[in-house]
Amino acid sequence: MTPEPKRPTGGLDAEIDAALEGVDLQSLSPTDEPNATGGPKKGDSKERLYTGVIEGIAGDDVIVELGPRMQGVVSLREFDEKPELGSKHQFTLRGREDDLWLLSMRDAQAIASWNELSAGSTVKARVTGQNQGGLELKIGSNSAFMPSSQVSLDRDEDIAAYIGQTILAEVLEIDRGRKRVVLSRRKQLERDRDKARSESADKYQPGMVLSGKVTKVEAFGAFVDIGDGLEGMVHVSNISRKRVENPADILKKGQDVKVQILQITEGGRRISLGMKQLEPDPWADVDYKYNIDAVYPGKVIRLMDFGAFVELEPGVEGLLHVSQLGQERVRRIQDVIKQGEEVSVRIQEIDQSAQRISLSRLDSRGAVIGSEDSVDSAVIDEALKSASGGISTNLGSLFKDALNKKK
């Protein structure tokens, strides 16, 4: 007989061993194959299966041909319905009386069901009792065990309510050497739930806008119930056009929200949702609102080794590279600029499609914006224009006047 594959250790395996501690399951002996002739041999075990042909029926006795000149008898009550002459069935030996073998078909069915059990298969089992580790069950006449954690999806449920019920379960383990069968109703329920979820997910498509309710908020995002037993996740990056550091600052458990489906994978087990997609896109008209070389106010929202991100308006950020912080080389960005600081920056480049803006704290002539060395280009142009009116005009005086005007 092919040995059963070993279960992986740890996790559920350790849980099953702990639940089975002290539990005495019914012994189930493995069965040998019938001999070549199909008939019994001297010393044969009663737990061995034999194929016999129905030869006749006399009252409650059913006569069975087991092999050449080998006959047995079995009670008619062991059949669900009167058997047809010539039909074949499997039996076990219960003893011998005169020249007839005493047979049992019910025992044979129990042994056959034991032989047919395999890990992963689905069986019907009747709950017969409860012990400290879980539920005791019967698969036909075979005993089985179900750990408490494998009874339902809700681990807090009162499992005693299942006593007397017949349930569908998955075979987690069948250990012929240790003569035990371990079942899981939870695995069966999870499979049914996944099937129902997959069927429900077929009704939804990316792009659909739905009403949902926040069920849980985590550091990486929030889970939202969208109905039909489906739950999706809004990643922190998809909560708002504004930068969100902590989802709990925006969302609360039980909050009603509008979401858009971004992606559905794994038959509905993974649904990506978005909220910011339903907000106006501040980048849509960036090219019109901001001009190259113009200076705008902003707020430092994040410092990195390579520079700082500056928010020009909610949802619109630009990168102020470390090389654009000052005239001197900057070794530690924290020594020059602080998070939360209000700054004036000049726009160097706008890439609307990539949603990128390059910023500088230096004016077009390399001076730090707002410093005494910085002169607004328009003021200088005005000074130069004034200079063209008289050839004797002193440019140094004009730039001095321009600086005074700026102050």
Q: Where a domain ends, among 84, 111, 138?
A: 111
Residue 294 belongs to some domain of the structure: yes
| 362, 324 Cβ separation under 8 angstroms | yes
Task: Output DSSP code: residue 261.
Answer: E
pLDDT by residue (tens digit) across 280-327?
A: 888 888 888 899 999 999 999 889 989 999 999 888 999 999 999 888
The reported pLDDT for the residue numbered 238 is 93
What CATH number is attached to the domain comprising 100? Answer: 2.40.50.140
Measured distance CA(147)–CA(304) in Å, rounded = 52
The reported pLDDT for the residue numbered 44 is 45
Query: What are the residue ranges in the chain where pLDDT is below 70?
Result: 1-47, 141, 155-156, 177-179, 372-407
- Report the candidate in 15, 27, 30, 28 with the shortest Cα–Cα distance to residue 146: 15
The reported pLDDT for the residue numbered 43 is 41
The reported pLDDT for the residue numbered 398 is 52
Give the three-state DSSP class for 344: strand
The reported pLDDT for the residue numbered 168 is 87
Is residue 66 domain-shared with residue 126, that is, in the same domain? no
Measured distance CA(384)–CA(401) in Å, rounded = 12
Q: Where a domain ends, among 259, 278, 297?
A: 278
Residue 186 belongs to some domain of the structure: yes
The reported pLDDT for the residue numbered 107 is 80
| 198, 268 Cβ separation under 8 angstroms | yes
- Report the candidate in 293, 286, 406, 380 with the shortest Cα–Cα distance to residue 345: 293
Is residue 70 domain-shared with residue 96, that is, in the same domain? yes
Task: Output DSSP code: residue 316.
Answer: E
| 72, 102 Cβ separation under 8 angstroms | yes
Sign of the Cα torsion 214, 215, 217, 221 reads negative
Where in the sequence is the domain holding 94, given as residue range(s)?
50-111
pLDDT by residue (tens digit) across 330-354?
A: 888 888 889 889 999 999 999 988 8
Q: Where a domain ends, among 77, 111, 145?
A: 111
Burial code (b: 16+ CB inside 10 Å, e: under 16) for 115-132 equals eebeeeeebebbbeebee
The reported pLDDT for the residue numbered 371 is 72
Is residue 228 domain-shared with residue 290, that is, in the same domain? no
| 7, 13 Cβ separation under 8 angstroms | yes
